[in-house]
């Protein structure tokens, strides 16, 4: 039996994971539940862990996993699956999916994704400052990606180097799947080419005639550049990780 706030937090985390592929930050959870401090979120998460609804992967940024949902939520989800129109409308927005490489028998959803049809995408190497995307393409490596993670358009994969996006759930060594394109909405995580020379993975914000490239780590500064110095090379649509 969950309290109202525990139930509300669990459903918020589950919905956030399904819509973005990443677990929410404590600040986002605090705002969603209209709490005044993060300590209340810590207590709620601990209670959900003790009851077997949530699992925390320690030593990883924002790594929450919903182990199970309350029975009433499962029933509602089954009813919603029978009426797909709302889900189809939601699917038109951004959805960054995460497939974990922990293929234990209990992870039925991961196992199903692993058995799904797959395609080979070019793996351009580790995304790092000082290398244009054209230079990374020379590796010739490929990676197998479940077809279900991809929509329309051309895709490629990059390995992440560094921790500048860890608070968005993107960790050093992860493989990100990028949908190639030259446009992106504010707030989307993109591969940006700066001054025709430097490639970086950051959150994009447009501010008048300037572009802000935001890290997701308080130890790094946001870079604000003239719009003409920044070219979008693609946007994040999925993330692969092995544990």
pLDDT in tens, 179-197: 999 989 999 999 998 888 7
> Is the predicted pLDDT of residue 80 greater than 60, yes or no?
no
> Is the predicted pLDDT of residue 3 greater than 60, yes or no?
yes
Query: Does the annotation mark 164 as catalytic?
Result: yes
| CA separation for the pair 191, 165 (Å, rounded) | 12
Strand partners, 156: 178
Strand partners, 98: 239
Is the model's pTM score more than 0.75? no
> Is the predicted pLDDT of residue 111 greater than 70, yes or no?
no
What is the chain written as a DSSP string?
A: ---HHHHHHHHHHHHHHHHHSSPPPHHHHHHHTT-S-HHHHHHHHHHHHHTTSEEE-TTSTT-EEE----HHHHHHHHHHHT-THHHHHHTTS---EEEES---TT-HHHHHHHHS-EEEEEEEEEE-TT--HHHHGGG-EEEEEEGGG--SS-EEEEEE-SSTTGGGT--TT-EEEEEE-S---TT-EEEEEETTTEEEEEEEEEETTEEEEE-SSTTSPPEEEEGGGEEEEEEEEEEEE--
- Classify domain 114-241 at the CATH class level: mainly beta
On average, the pLDDT of the chain sits at 76
Catalytic site residue from 78, 164, 180, 210: 164
pLDDT at 189: 92
Fold type of domain 4-93:
Arc Repressor Mutant, subunit A (1.10.10)
pLDDT at 58: 58
- Residue 64 near residue 56, CB atoms below 8 Å: yes
Query: Does the annotation mark 202 as catalytic?
Result: yes
Highest mean pLDDT among 45-54, 62-71, 86-95, 224-233: 224-233
Q: Parse the chain into domains and list their residue ranges.
A: 4-93, 114-241
| CA separation for the pair 233, 243 (Å, rounded) | 28
19-23, 82-86, 207-211: range with lowest mean pLDDT: 82-86
- Residue 174 near residue 161, CB atoms below 8 Å: no
pLDDT at 203: 92
> Is the predicted pLDDT of residue 211 greater than 90, yes or no?
yes
Catalytic site residue from 46, 180, 202, 210: 202
92-106, 124-138, 210-224: range with lowest mean pLDDT: 92-106
């Amino acid at each position: 039996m969950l309290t109202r706030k525990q139930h509300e937090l669990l459903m918020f985390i589950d919905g956030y994971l399904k819509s973005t592929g990443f677990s929410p930050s404590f600040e986002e959870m605090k705002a969603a539940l209209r709490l005044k401090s993060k300590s209340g979120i810590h207590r709620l998460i601990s209670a959900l862990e003790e009851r077997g609804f949530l699992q925390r992967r320690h030593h990883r940024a924002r790594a929450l996993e919903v182990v199970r949902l309350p029975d009433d939520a499962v029933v509602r989800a089954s009813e919603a699956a029978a009426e797909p129109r709302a889900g189809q409308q939601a699917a038109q927005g951004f959805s960054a999916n995460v497939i974990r490489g922990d293929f234990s028998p209990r992870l039925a959803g991961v196992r199903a994704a692993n058995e799904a049809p797959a395609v080979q995408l070019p793996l351009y190497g580790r995304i790092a400052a000082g290398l244009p995307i054209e230079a990374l393409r020379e590796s010739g490596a490929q990676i197998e990606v479940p077809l279900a993670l991809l929509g329309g358009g051309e895709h490629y994969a990059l390995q992440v180097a560094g921790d500048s996006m860890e608070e968005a759930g993107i960790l050093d060594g992860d493989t990100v799947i990028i949908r190639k394109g030259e446009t992106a909405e504010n707030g989307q995580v993109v591969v940006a080419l700066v001054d025709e020379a430097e490639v970086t993975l950051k959150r994009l914000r447009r501010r008048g005639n300037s572009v802000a490239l935001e890290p997701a780590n308080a130890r790094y500064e946001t870079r604000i550049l003239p719009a003409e110095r920044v070219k979008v090379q693609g946007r994040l649509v999925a993330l692969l990780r092995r544990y």
